[in-house]
């Protein structure tokens, strides 16, 4: 006989509601148990409703992917001298110009420049908008990654995905609004790259890990069954009830109890989202799943599509490392191969499903690479880091398809046309999603903070 | 008749419109509009020039002559746009800059009055005669308008001298000020919390640990007789070293303590732990706060021979920092100068200095000159790992074990490196200049391993410095450019011989390559002028600049320092500051809710030797502190104090991440209460520990926990804090990252917290140990459950609770009987797969884990019977209770 029967009954009713017996799940969210802050909302008509951010960590070379420099072929192995105050290891020793090992072609109706290595993506350039004008400040990976991801090179601030989820809220209460698909090895700077920073923890990027448990502690530990856990949760609810009854005004306590119920559901549902069994063989083949060269990023791209379909607001997928200081032909060659087919498949898939129109796809690294290299022992032609020039591209979400905006100088050392600091890219990015960087602020430590740090410009050239 | 300004025929009568213009509208234009509409005549946005009435009447490209229609405020777009009703044309564009209602009304009213535009001389006259708000004397600003601008008086509170009210004899000062406000609001406060609740509050509040059940009973007995029991028990708790640990945790949040440098290499800071222990000692010894400040800012300049003082200056180097071969030294140096200026400003003066870096401060009386003046204080400050013999009070425990372990890691890598080198020597082919890429005959994985091993050797050898009598410190001297910093930085013999002086100048627009006017070392000029401080010139050149700043901060006349610390301490007890932003006392920070109380306490603090313990005692002896978290009339409370700032009841709080972990270890009986010493390596989620993480040139070694339970199960403050590898348990419970200063912990309730407490192996380990402990201490089932409640929740269990728990225990024992747990096994090496930089393709390698050679797990399921395992289910539930994580 249960002496707390009365509470127990109340609890069971609640459980029925929460575990889907009555379908009343609307009030529960994956993360947001407490929304003290008003969601700032869409500030103007949005071109894009969601975003897939393909982060090419390590710094892909614009010169060997999307920004051909025939001048480098002419100057190949001529001596190069970097001067000025900004000296570092990248300017010491004897340096030489290095040509791209790849041929370039004019692709699509728009005639976009792509390296011939992009066997699949070259068929999509009419849906893509290339941008060659962006500059960042840092030539070190973690600081540059932080800068691109969070707007602050020191890290510690909210990531773009956190801001977007904060601004737009979530479309699926049972999933996180901001999902990250990292590589098995985390990037330099670690999880701060998808941090919620000073925003409430609800907006933190949730990594779905490619190996092991997709979400940490998603499964009961060895020796514990789900049945055991169910019984324990029942006891938990019973004991919590009395404490809660005495403190009805403390909303956090009720929210915390709900979070346990949601956690219980997640244990069953999350593995299903990751399970690609429901996809046809044809789809899997298209994404390169099953081929060791493309399998890893193929899964991420397919998962990204599945997640945005299910209402996840912002997905970031990592590929890399593109940090090819040596041997660019082989290193960039295999990296391009590993992402080319998966990305092409994802773009087709989004388009076929009518999602591309309002899904913003962003592809970029944390910086570009130099036209020159210190030839280390004659082994290899590689490139160092370059904060002054890079190529990023966008697709869908109201960007100007089939265009190449901005330009770098004749050797690809520096952006010279439509030059913008990364903060303007951030402002544009938010703008496409219907958010105004100047209004999407959060009051923290006595200051209204924003993604661009202190404001920036929309790059109109990128918008259709 | 004397000719005064007012009746001067030159000026005559001043109209309402003119007054509005001179006092409100013109300053608003200057502050909010002119940056885009006139300051730079070449760059006028939207073709709207706001420099003169005529140009404003001409209007801009969008609204033309409807911008300003004299006499028609509501119709003029100047007013309409300022009210932000026109989408995409809100002015000023930034939400953070938006005008208040009152400000928009003054524009409207001015237009209604015909939009008069008196000339400069007349404006100056009107301002002089009628101006509201006040001007602040500061050092020279970048712009004239800024220099002359006026501040709302109430926003300058932090700079003014303390205003100390007298508290009537026999009244407790805290209650006197708090109750006065309650009375004004017509609110009756909650009565005292129960003694069990109070003691739990006290124990967590002072030590960060759950109450000792025996002490709790004693407290209950004594408190029933006399309320002074609370003060006596507070004294007792402050006398145990766990007090210092807990208060140090608060301070280290602000200081951003970490054991690694962050960024690309995340190199260890092998001696940072000595600073952490210094802070623990400072609170335990109740070091006067003014001394605490001085030692951290300028200990080396005060007493360079005193190791304690050298250790204290570690504060100045707490932020993330690195200089790689890729970095430009000048920029790295500047990043640190910016960082230290801002962190000293936030920590001691509650000023976000960075806001004045590129322009005079938008809201506060901090001109850019003050920013660079304060930065100049640090321009002769240099990094060094200085010799500092260990003090008797420092723990040297575990040095030998750690060194041995690290040495074996180093040796393993050395052996691997040698073998690899031999293989490479064998295979490597001579190359010519014409060689095609990849013609060197080497396996790219081997090449990647070579670089990975070399980098990890550098990293682990650096860790061997942990037990050396050196400290993460600074010295005063010239700046010497550095290339690639991978290890200990030594003190030069003569700090003034090599190197250069950093330029003491304003960097225009914050750009390190753009030198503006020269500056001299100073601090906040507004604090000097408004606070009636004597403005002392700080030395420049080779002088002791930091010591001068330290003395300036610790000066009893400094209006900020004591207020800032008192406010922090208050926030540590009550979960919110009297001033709502402990790191920001500027105009945008929340104003103090009880300014008189803050001033009283700040004054009291200084008069009582800047003693933190005494201040704690004063606060804790108040009725305000004792209040129940449950108000008798919550609806009335909600109505009269919606923000919960009047202290009618105590604000309940969730335990912070460290408290949750420590509390579990404490109640399970596993906590090793040792104080201080080299960082402990607790068990962390194994998937995270083994997950590859990239560093420059390869992949960092696996995180290995300490081999012995007593080493691992230390208080969380001693857990090694790596910027690049956060413990997911702590992160999930809102432990802030160590890159930015954290003024106060946030709490959010998210599902991953529930997953952690339900499923994490570390939590199950604690539950099992707790069960084993209970069965050792009590025999009969109800007694076991009763003891469990006492330890975990600081109270006895109700009969109903005993019944449901025993029921669950019995059932769980039955299911456990059907299981046969096997001992956990740990491999001593793991195969890892990462990407080779040269090929962009994955490669595998084996990594050896010396810590697992001698690893002893915590109590395991295979070592106990089904009854203990069954009880562990109940223990797990107790750890998951709201009541376990929440303090009343």
pLDDT tens per residue, range B378-392: 999 999 999 999 999
For residue A230, give the chain B residue with the closest CA.
B758
Q: Facing residues of B697 across strands? A: none
The pLDDT value recorded for residue B4 is: 36
Return the number of CB contacts < 8 Å for A and B. Answer: 325
Confidence of residue B125 (pLDDT cuts 50, 70, 90): confident
ipTM of the complex: 0.88
Helices A422-432, A160-168: crossing angle, 10 deg rounding: 30
Degrees, nearest 5: CA angle A153-A67-A338:
75
Interchain pair B874, A235: CB under 8 A: yes
Task: Band the pLDDT of A88: cuts 50, 70, 90.
Answer: low
The rounded distance, in Å, linking the Cα atoms of B466 and B272 is 9
Please provide the average confidence, as pLDDT, over all residues in chain B.
93
Inside any domain, residue A357:
yes
DSSP 8-state code for residue B657: H
Residues in chain B: 888
B559/B595 Cα distance (integer angstroms) = 13
Look at B93 and A327 and tell me if their CB atoms are within 8 Å. Answer: no
Cβ of A334 within 8 Å of Cβ of B839? The answer is: yes
Contacts of B483 in chain A (CB under 8 A): 89
In the predicted structure, residue B1 carries a pLDDT above the cut 70: no
pLDDT at A18 over 50: no
User: pTM of the entire structure?
Assistant: 0.87
**Confidence band (pLDDT; 50, 70, 90) for B498?**
very high
pLDDT at residue A19, rounded to an integer: 29
> pLDDT class for B374, splitting at 50, 70, 90?
very high
**pLDDT tens digit string along A30-63?**
444 333 334 455 666 788 999 999 999 999 999 9
Percent of chain B with pLDDT over 90: 75
Q: Name every chain B residue with its beta carbon within 8 A of the beta carbon of A38.
A: none
Q: Provide the residue range defining the domain that includes A76.
A: 50-219+282-462
In tens, the pLDDT along B229-259 reads 999 999 999 999 999 999 999 999 999 999 9
Long-range contacts of B858-863 (CB under 8 A, 24+ apart): B858/B670, B858/B683, B858/B709, B858/B712, B858/B713, B858/B765, B858/B768, B858/B769, B859/B765, B859/B768, B859/B769, B859/B772, B860/B768, B860/B821, B860/B823, B860/B824, B861/A223, B861/B768, B861/B821, B862/B821, B862/B822, B862/B823, B862/B824, B863/B823
pLDDT of B11 reads 65
Least confident of A403-412, B358-367, B675-684, B760-769: B358-367
pLDDT(B588) > 60: yes
CATH number at residue A299: 3.40.720
Query: Residue A126 pLDDT > 50, yes or no?
Result: yes
**Beta-carbon separation of A332 and B740 below 8 A:** no
Nearest to B749 among A233, A252, A379 (CB): A252
Instruction: Inform me whether the pLDDT recorded for B798 exceeds 90.
Output: yes
Q: How far is A461 from chain B (nearest CA, A)?
A: 18
What distance in Å separates residue B11's CA from the closest CA in chain A?
Answer: 41
Give the pLDDT of residue A27. 35
Chain-chain contact of A188 with B696 (C-beta, under 8 angstroms) = yes
> What value does the mean pLDDT of chain A take?
85
For residue A453, tell me if it sits in a domain: yes
Domain boundary assignment for chain B: 16-132, 173-240+558-654, 257-389+470-554, 657-887
Residues A232, B431: C-beta atoms closer than 8 Å: no
- Interacting residues of B246 by C-beta distance below 8 A, sequence separation 6+: B206, B207, B208, B209
Q: What is the mean pLDDT of residues B284-311?
A: 98
Q: Mean pLDDT check: name the lowest of A342-346, B533-537, B617-621, B666-670.
A: B533-537
- Residue A268: partners with Cβ closer than 8 Å, 6 or more residues away: none
Q: What is the pLDDT of residue A65?
A: 97
Q: What is the pLDDT of residue B365?
A: 95
B808 and A232 within 8 Å at the Cβ level: the answer is: yes
Measure B232 CA to nearest chain A CA, in Å.
30
pLDDT grade for B478, boundaries at 50, 70 and 90: very high
* Binary contact (B756, A216; C-beta < 8 A): yes
Q: Tell me the shortest Cα–Cα distance from B276 to chain A, in angstroms.
A: 21
Nearest to A161 by CA among A312, A296, A367, A351: A312
Distance (Å) from the alpha carbon of A282 to chain B's nearest alpha carbon: 26
Say yes or no to pLDDT of A237 above 90.
yes
Q: Residue B757's closest chain A neighbor by CA?
A: A217
* pLDDT exceeds cutoff 50 at A1: no
Q: Residue B685: which of A216, A220, A384 has the nearest Cβ?
A: A216
pLDDT tens, residue by residue, A154-164? 888 999 999 99
Residue B6 pLDDT? 40
Across the interface, do B726 and A191 touch by the CB < 8 Å criterion? Answer: yes
| A4/chain B closest Cα distance in angstroms | 7
Are B758 and A217 a contacting pair at CB < 8 A? yes
- Which residue from A89, A188, A441 is facing B325, i.e. has the nearest CB? A89
Q: Determine which of B102-111, B466-475, B570-579 has the lowest per-residue pLDDT on average.
A: B102-111
Model confidence at A435: pLDDT above 90: yes
The total of structural domains in chain A comes to 1
Chain A neighbors of B330, CB-CB under 8 A: 85-86
């Amino acid at each position: 006989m249960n002496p707390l029967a009365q509470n127990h009954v109340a609890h069971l009713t609640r459980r029925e509601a929460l575990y889907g017996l009555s379908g009343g799940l609307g009030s529960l969210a994956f993360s947001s148990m407490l929304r003290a802050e008003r969601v700032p909302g869409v500030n103007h008509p949005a071109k894009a409703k969601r975003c897939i951010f393909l982060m090419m960590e390590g710094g892909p070379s614009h010169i060997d992917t999307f920004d051909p420099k025939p001048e480098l072929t002419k100057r190949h192995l001529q001596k190069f001298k970097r001067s000025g105050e900004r000296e570092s290891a990248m300017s010491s020793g004897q340096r030489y110009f290095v040509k791209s090992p790849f041929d370039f072609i004019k692709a699509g109706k728009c005639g976009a420049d792509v390296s011939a290595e992009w066997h699949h993506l070259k068929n999509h350039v009419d849906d893509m908008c290339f941008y060659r004008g962006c500059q960042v400040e840092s030539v070190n990976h973690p600081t540059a990654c932080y800068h691109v991801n969070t707007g602050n090179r020191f890290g510690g601030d909210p990531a773009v995905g956190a801001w977007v989820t904060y601004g737009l809220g979530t479309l699926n209460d049972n999933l996180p609004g901001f999902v990250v698909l990292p590589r098995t090895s985390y990037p330099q700077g670690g999880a701060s790259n998808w941090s919620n920073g000073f925003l409430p923890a609800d907006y933190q990027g949730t990594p779905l890990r490619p190996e092991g448990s997709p979400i940490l502690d998603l499964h009961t530990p060895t020796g514990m069954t789900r049945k055991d856990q169910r019984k324990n949760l029942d006891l938990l609810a019973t004991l919590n009830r009395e404490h809660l009854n005495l403190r009805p005004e403390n909303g956090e306590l009720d929210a915390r109890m709900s979070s346990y119920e949601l956690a219980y559901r997640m244990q069953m549902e999350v593995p299903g989202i990751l399970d690609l069994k429901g996809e046809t063989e044809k789809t899997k083949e298209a994404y390169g799943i099953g081929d060791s060269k493309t399998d890893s990023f193929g899964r991420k791209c397919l998962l990204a599509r599945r997640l945005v379909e299910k209402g996840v607001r912002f997905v970031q997928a990592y590929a890399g490392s593109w940090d090819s200081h040596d041997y660019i032909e082989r290193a960039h060659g295999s990296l391009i191969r590993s992402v080319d087919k998966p990305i092409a498949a994802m773009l087709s898939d989004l388009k076929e499903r009518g999602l591309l129109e309002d899904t913003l796809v962003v592809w970029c690294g944390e910086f570009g690479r130099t036209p020159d290299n210190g030839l280390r022992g004659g082994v290899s032609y590689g490139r160092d880091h370059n904060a002054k020039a890079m190529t990023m591209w966008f697709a869908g979400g109201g960007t100007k398809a089939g265009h190449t905006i901005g330009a770098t100088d004749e050797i690809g050392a520096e952006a010279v046309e439509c030059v913008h600091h990364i903060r303007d890219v951030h402002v544009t990015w938010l703008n496409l999603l219907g958010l105004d960087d100047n209004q999407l602020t959060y009051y923290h430590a006595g200051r209204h903070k924003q993604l661009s740090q202190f404001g920036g410009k929309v790059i109109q050239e990128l918008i259709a | 008749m004397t000719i005064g300004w007012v009746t001067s025929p030159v000026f005559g009568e001043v109209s309402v419109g003119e007054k509005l213009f001179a006092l409100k509208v013109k300053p608003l234009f200057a502050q909010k509009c002119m940056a885009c509409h006139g300051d730079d005549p070449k760059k006028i946005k939207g073709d709207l020039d706001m420099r003169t009435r005529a140009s404003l009447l001409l209007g801009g490209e969008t609204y033309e002559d409807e911008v300003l229609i004299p006499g028609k405020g509501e119709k003029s777009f100047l007013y309409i746009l300022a009210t932000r009703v026109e989408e995409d044309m809100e002015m000023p564009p930034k939400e953070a800059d938006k005008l208040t209602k009152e400000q928009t009304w003054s524009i409207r009213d001015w237009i209604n009055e015909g939009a008069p535009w008196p000339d400069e001389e007349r404006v100056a006259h009107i301002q002089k005669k009628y101006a509201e708000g006040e001007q602040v004397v500061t050092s020279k600003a970048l712009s004239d308008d800024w220099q002359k601008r006026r501040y709302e008086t109430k926003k300058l509170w932090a700079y003014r001298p303390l205003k100390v009210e007298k508290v009537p004899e026999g009244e407790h000062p805290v209650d006197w000020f708090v109750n006065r406000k309650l009375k004004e609001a017509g609110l009756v406060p909650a009565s005292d919390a129960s003694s069990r609740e109070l003691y739990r509050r006290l124990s967590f509040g002072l030590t960060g640990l759950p109450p000792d059940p025996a002490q709790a009973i004693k407290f209950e007995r004594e408190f029933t007789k006399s309320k002074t029991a609370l003060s006596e028990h507070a004294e007792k708790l402050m006398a145990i070293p766990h007090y210092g640990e807990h208060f140090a945790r608060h301070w280290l949040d602000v200081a951003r303590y970490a054991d690694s440098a962050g960024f690309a290499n995340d190199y260890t800071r092998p001696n940072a732990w000595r600073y952490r222990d210094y802070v623990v000692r400072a609170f335990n010894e109740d070091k006067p706060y003014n001394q605490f400040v001085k030692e951290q800012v300028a200990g080396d300049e005060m007493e360079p021979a005193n190791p304690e003082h050298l250790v204290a200056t570690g504060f100045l180097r707490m932020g993330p920092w690195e200089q790689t071969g890729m970095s430009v030294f000048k920029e790295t140096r500047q990043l640190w100068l910016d960082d230290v200026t801002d962190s000293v400003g936030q920590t001691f003066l509650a000023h976000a200095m960075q806001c004045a870096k590129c322009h005079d401060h938008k809201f506060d009386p901090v001109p850019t000159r003050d920013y660079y003046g304060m930065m100049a204080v640090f321009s002769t400050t240099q990094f060094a790992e200085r010799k500092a013999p260990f003090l008797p009070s420092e723990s040297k425990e575990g040095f030998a074990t750690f060194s041995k372990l690290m040495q074996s890691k180093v040796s393993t890598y050395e052996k691997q490196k040698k073998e690899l080198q031999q293989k490479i020597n064998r295979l490597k082919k001579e190359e010519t200049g014409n060689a095609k890429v990849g013609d060197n005959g080497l396996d790219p994985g081997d090449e990647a391993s070579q670089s990975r091993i070399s980098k990890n050797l550098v990293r682990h050898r650096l860790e061997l410095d942990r037990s050396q009598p050196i400290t993460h410190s600074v010295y005063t001297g010239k700046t010497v450019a550095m290339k690639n910093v991978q290890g200990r930085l030594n003190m030069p013999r003569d700090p003034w011989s090599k190197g250069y002086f950093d330029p003491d100048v304003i960097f225009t627009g914050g750009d390190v390559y753009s030198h503006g006017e020269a500056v001299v070392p100073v601090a906040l000029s507004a604090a000097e002028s408004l606070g009636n401080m004597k403005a002392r010139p700080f030395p420049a050149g080779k002088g002791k600049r930091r010591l001068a700043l330290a003395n300036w901060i610790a000066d009893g006349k400094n209006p900020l320092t004591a207020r800032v610390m008192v406010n922090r301490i208050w926030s540590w007890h009550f979960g919110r500051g009297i001033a709502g932003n402990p790191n920001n006392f500027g105009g945008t920070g929340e104003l103090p809710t009880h300014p008189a109380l803050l001033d009283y306490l700040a004054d009291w603090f200084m008069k009582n030797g800047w003693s933190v313990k005494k201040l704690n005692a004063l606060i804790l002896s108040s009725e305000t502190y004792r209040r129940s978290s449950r108000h008798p009339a919550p609806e009335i409370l909600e109505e009269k104090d919606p923000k919960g700032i009047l202290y009618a009841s105590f604000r309940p709080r969730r335990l912070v991440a460290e408290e949750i972990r420590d509390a579990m270890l404490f109640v399970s009986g596993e906590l090793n209460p040792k104080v201080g010493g080299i960082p402990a390596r607790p068990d962390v989620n194994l998937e995270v520990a083994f997950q590859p993480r990239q560093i420059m040139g390869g992949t960092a070694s696996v995180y290995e926990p300490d081999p012995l339970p007593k080493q691992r199960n230390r208080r969380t403050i001693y857990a090694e804090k790596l910027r690049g590898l956060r413990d997911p348990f702590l992160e999930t419970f809102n432990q802030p990252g160590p890159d930015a200063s954290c003024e106060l912990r946030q709490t959010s309730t998210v599902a991953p917290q529930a997953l952690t407490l339900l499923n994490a192996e570390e939590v199950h380990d604690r539950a099992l140990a707790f069960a084993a402990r209970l069965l050792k201490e009590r025999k009969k089932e109800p007694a076991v459950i009763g003891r469990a409640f006492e330890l975990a929740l600081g109270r006895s269990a109700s009969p109903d609770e005993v019944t449901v728990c025993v029921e669950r225990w019995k059932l769980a024992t039955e299911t456990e009987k059907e299981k046969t747990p096997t001992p956990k096994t740990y491999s001593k090496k793991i195969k890892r797969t990462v990407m080779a930089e040269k090929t962009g393709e994955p490669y595998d390698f084996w990594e050896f884990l010396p810590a697992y050679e001698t690893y002893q797990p915590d109590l395991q399921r295979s070592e106990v019977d089904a009854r203990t395992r069954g009880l562990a289910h109940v223990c797990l539930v107790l750890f998951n209770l709201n009541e376990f994580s929440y303090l009343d």
